[in-house]
Structure 1
């Protein structure tokens, strides 16, 4: 089964899956076929859904067939192209540049890790490409796909480990 994400204009898009349609946010710079670290664009392509992380201190375990993990205080994700753990989960504290998974806002209350640039990671080709909770008004992301929390929860209840996401 394929989740289809289509860019509409700028950083806004639509996500379609199993006859449902959801508004979504994409990268602040839109989409690109040549993803680079820090370009603020969502990468065009087809990506597996690797796993789901969620904030157990803010919500119950989501209904999903994806491998599911609780986000802890020490969870980070390396976004430093010069580090050997580039585009990999890391334990905090961590000396190189990284994302903190346990954020103060709600954007990472639900995080689906997309299989972008991870088999193996190529330095500089983009990291931390997730599907996560959207900011109010579907503001542009750093390159991720973002949905409202209710829409993301509904989508998670429908996907399987074989589901892939297509960005175009």
Structure 2
């Protein structure tokens, strides 16, 4: 199904020119510095066009209460493999790790709450791009590396209301 042909529901997160529409509200957001792309590649900074399932939620338990009963805590040493040549490409891994990976336990608050999509997961295709997260923005309008970023209060509101069938739709 292409991103323009699906039927949406109020429980879908739909990226529009004005932000993300969810449950009757519109939330300002930032997307990838590479814009929206149908042919997403590792390192292009683009947000991939398509229908992406929500497959997980991670949070920093030292900085916030559990945002949903199914959210899992981020621990020191948790990483996300972004090395296309590694067998654990686009998977959560633990330090020490022998490939390229991004720290999830960060000094800044960017990843205090992460909503995981199924982009190029669970069986990642080589160089198609690693994780597309929904996370906190650095500041309004500041582009991401391909993720969708929100005001932290809006992100917590969204996280508390995601349902089993919630999808991120990027047209």
Which range, TM-score by smaller chain? over 0.9
Which residue among 43, 48, 56 is the counterpart of 1:51? 56
More strand by share: 1
For the aligned residue pairs, the C-alpha RMSD in angstroms reads 1.1
**TM-score, with normalisation over the residues of structure 1?**
0.92
Count of residue pairs brought into register by the alignment? 161
Which residue among 21, 24, 46 is the counterpart of 2:26? 21
CA distance in 1, matches of 2:66, 2:107: 19
Residue 149 of structure 1 is matched in structure 2 by: 152
Residue 47 of structure 2 is matched in structure 1 by: 42
CA contact (8 A) 1:138 1:147 kept: no
- Say which SS state the counterpart of residue 114 (structure 2) adopts: strand
**TM-score, with normalisation over the residues of structure 2?**
0.90
CA distance in 1, matches of 2:108, 2:62: 13
Which residue among 97, 114, 132 is the counterpart of 1:111? 114
Residue 3 of structure 1 is matched in structure 2 by: 13
Residue 95 of structure 2 is matched in structure 1 by: 92
Residue 131 of structure 2 is matched in structure 1 by: 128
Give the drift of 1:137: 2.3
- Say which SS state the counterpart of residue 168 (structure 2) adopts: strand
Give the drift of 1:138: 2.9
- Say which SS state the counterpart of residue 50 (structure 1) adopts: strand
Give the drift of 1:93: 1.5
Check if 1:30 corresponds to 2:40.
no
CA distance in 1, matches of 2:19, 2:71: 25
Gaps of 5+ in 1: none
Give the drift of 1:33: 0.4
Gaps of 5+ in 2: 1-10
Give the drift of 1:156: 1.1
CA distance in 1, matches of 2:129, 2:48: 8
Moved over 3 A (4+): none
